Amino acid sequence: MTSNHELFQRAQAVLPGGVNSPVRAFKSVGGEPFFTARADGPFLWDVEGKRYIDYVGSWGPMIVGHNHPRVREAVERAVRDGLSFGTPCPAEVTMAETIVSLVPSIEMVRMVNSGTEATMSAIRLARGATGRSKIVKFEGCYHGHGDSFLVKAGSGALTFGVPTSPGVPKASADLTLTLPYNDIDAARTLFTEQGNDIACLIIEPVAGNMNCIPPKDGYLQALRDLCTQHGVLLIFDEVMTGFRVALGGAQAHYGIMPDLTCFGKIIGGGMPVGAYGGRRDLMQQIAPSGPIYQAGTLSGNPVAMAAGLAMLELIREEGFYERLAARARLLTDGLVAVAAETGTPFSVNRVGGMFGLFFTSETVESYEQATKADVGAFNRFFHAMLDRGVYLAPSAFEAGFVSSAHDDNAIAQTLDAAREAFRLVAA
Ligand code: PMP
């Protein structure tokens, strides 16, 4: 039998860090990753046959659980007719119609192949449509690995951004302005100073890449108003929240209309898919109906569209989101209760089926607070849970996800593991 360790040794010789995406390497929690052989429902099995209750769900798309028969069968049917055509196909029209019908602010949409592609394309559109160059993002929000997004705040609110990765040109980072999340005064100050130079403001409406931090009451509306006032396009990056916190995404949950929206993950049902869409007058400026160029050989791929459409059908079933939120609540309420038994400082955030765990007694509302929670305690908890067959996101700064396949049994087993894990963390 191949072991996880053996595979990781082989992987490190031929893949940078042994992985194809950094967080998978367990760098921030320490130790070595496991290699998944198969997945079903709420479970993953590694190559050694160990089973894990999975709260990562392929980083979001597995909202109905792994390997759902309806999604798998849709893919199997599509595959019989060919893998890629390079011409338009019917499923991409149905997909676009479905997204437009479900998401309040979207009148037209363009399919792409990842969340990164969606956000890079959306800011190009924003710049092309407004004739402005600067963009605004938030510290702790992640929008994929495009140059414009790998930027952190400079030393003051109104200074230039600083690249967070070698290879990002300073000239590109200079165009990205960074704000603290959930701080409307900082946004007002920046817009007063530079509003006329800003093409767009991009935000995760529920931040999911600094753990899970929901917007304060009225915050998103205040940003909407500020953008409208200054002619700045508001982009919601709903790669995580789309079709997760509600059927219509965070924009439906909070009742805000962004100008453009980015999607990924869920709309591919596990296949490599992303999309961006929004107001018709903006989307019509995309090639070939307009001059702003964006393209993709595999975009709208028939197999990916089949998986995504099957997924979107499942989550439209009556009561799906109420059930999903109830699953997540059972988990997070249970974790708070078992943490209290051991006197561990611990708090949770939760929006729909998305949650965050913090080793602090405070309610976390900002990036700064998230970074001050006890990361060492999280890392010990992560490993104690992993040893007991529960897989949490391998970083204190990632949101967790439940699926509709996490039944009472899976959650009860998770809480039993957590009771022991909190004791170990406290000891
Ligand atoms: N935006 C957000 C909010 C994300 O969470 C991610 C990925 N986790 C991305 C964009 C990038 O998506 P992808 O990894 O598919 O390129």
Question: Given a cut of 90, is residue 174 above it in pLDDT?
Answer: yes
pLDDT value, residue 161: 75
Average pLDDT over the chain, rounded to an integer: 96
Condensed to tens digits (0 to 9), the pLDDT of residues 388-409 reads 999 999 999 999 999 999 999 9
**Structure confidence at residue 210 as a pLDDT band (50, 70, 90):** very high
Residues 149 and 15 both lie in one domain: no
Cβ atoms 359, 374 nearer than 8 A: yes
Which residue's C-alpha comes closest to atom 12 of ligand 1? 115
Last-in-domain residue among 315, 335, 366: 315
* Residue 109 burial (C-beta neighbours within 10 Å; 0-12, 13-18, 19+): buried
Instruction: For residue 134, report the distance from its CA to the centre of ligand 1, in Å.
Output: 21
Torsion of CA 161, 141, 112, 172, to 10 degrees: 0
Would the CB of 237 count as within 6 Å of ligand 1? yes
The pLDDT of residue 202 is 98
Q: Among 145, 240, 251, 260, name the best residue to mutate to test ligand 1's pocket (greatest count of ligand atoms within 8 A of Cβ).
A: 240
For residue 6, name the pLDDT band (cuts at 50, 70, 90): very high
Asked if residues 329 and 364 have their Cβ atoms less than 8 Å apart, the reply is no
Q: Strands 51-54, 390-391: parallel, antiparallel or unpaired by DSSP?
A: parallel
Taking residues 284-312, report their average pLDDT. 97
- For residues 360 and 273, membership in a common domain is answered with no
Separation of alpha carbons 323 and 316, rounded Å: 12
* CATH, residue 50: 3.90.1150.10
Band (pLDDT 50/70/90 cuts) for residue 153 is confident
- CA quadruple 165, 370, 209, 155: dihedral sign: negative
Give the total number of structural domains in the chain: 2
Same structural domain, 170 and 227: yes
Q: Are residues 191 and 270 both part of a single domain?
A: yes
Q: Of 56, 59, 116, which is best to mutate to test ligand 1, by the most ligand atoms within 8 angstroms of its C-beta?
A: 116
Closest CA to 137 of 180, 103, 169, 186: 180
Q: What is the pLDDT of residue 162?
A: 80
Same domain, 80 and 48: no
Q: Which two tokens stand for residue 311?
A: 């997924």
Residue 159 has pLDDT above 60, yes or no: no
DSSP string for residues in 36-55? EEEEEBTEEEETT--EEEES
pLDDT for the residue numbered 155: 59
Q: Are residues 177 and 274 in the same domain?
A: yes
Domain residue limits at 296: 69-315
**What is the ipTM, given to two decimal places?**
0.99
Give the pLDDT score at 427: 85
Task: Please tell me the distance between residue 120's alpha carbon and the centre of ligand 1 in angstroms.
Answer: 11
Same domain, 45 and 105: no
Decide: 227 and 261 in contact? Cβ < 8 Å.
no
